[in-house]
Structures are given as structure tokens and as C-alpha cells.
Amino acid sequence: MTSISDIQQTVCREFGVTMIDLVSQRRGREIVIPRHVAMWLAAKSTPASLPKIGRAFGNRDHKTVMNALDRINRRRASDPPFASLIRDLLQTVGGVIA
């Protein structure tokens, strides 16, 4: 089974960020998008609860995770290249296509 850590490492490689970046309190676009993608992938590919996913990303609240999921879903709907990237990442981490 895929772990949140596996997902984080995959996203770090894909977006050229570090694990420290993903769990940091930084809010720059170059960090927020990969963080949100990793949260979305974790929600779709693992049985982890939203609070557990939030804790894996720097002790964030489950509402922060819900916001990330919403943002990724909206961008997937309006940005076909981004949706394709997300599909590819989801297959890479072994999740189901949503």
C-alpha cells in the first residue's frame, strides 16, 4: 500500500521541492501547489483520515486539507494539462483514478 511519505517523495521529485518545503509553513505558490497535490494524492491513494494527512504536512488542520482537495479538484476541472499531470501522478503512486 502507498504511504503518505511515498506520495510526498514522488511529489517532491515531480515539482522539484524538498520534503522540508512540503511540511513547512511557507505559503509561496511554488510550495503550495505541490503541497496541495500531495494532500490530494494522499486522500485518494491512502486510507488516511484528513486529520492524519494534515499532521503529515506540518500539523495542518483537516480543514486545510479539505481546502487543498477542493482547490485541486477545481483546477483539474478547468486545466486539462494539470488534470493529466494529476492522473499520471495518481497512477504512479498506485491510487485509483478519480
CATH topology of domain 4-93: Chromosomal Replication Initiator Protein Dnaa; Chain: A; (1.10.1750)
Whether 40 has a pLDDT exceeding 60, the answer reads: yes
User: Which one-letter amino acid corresponds to residue 12?
Assistant: C
Instruction: Give just the sign of the alpha carbon dihedral 91, 36, 45, 2.
Output: positive
Q: Give the confidence band of 1 by pLDDT, cuts at 50, 70, 90.
A: confident
Helices (H), ranges, 1-98: 4-15, 19-23, 29-45, 50-56, 62-78, 80-93
What is the value of pTM for the model shown?
A: 0.94
What does the pLDDT read at residue 91?
A: 93
Q: Residue 94: what pLDDT?
A: 84
More confident site: 2 or 48: 48
Domain ranges of the chain: 4-93
* 97 pLDDT above the threshold of 70: no
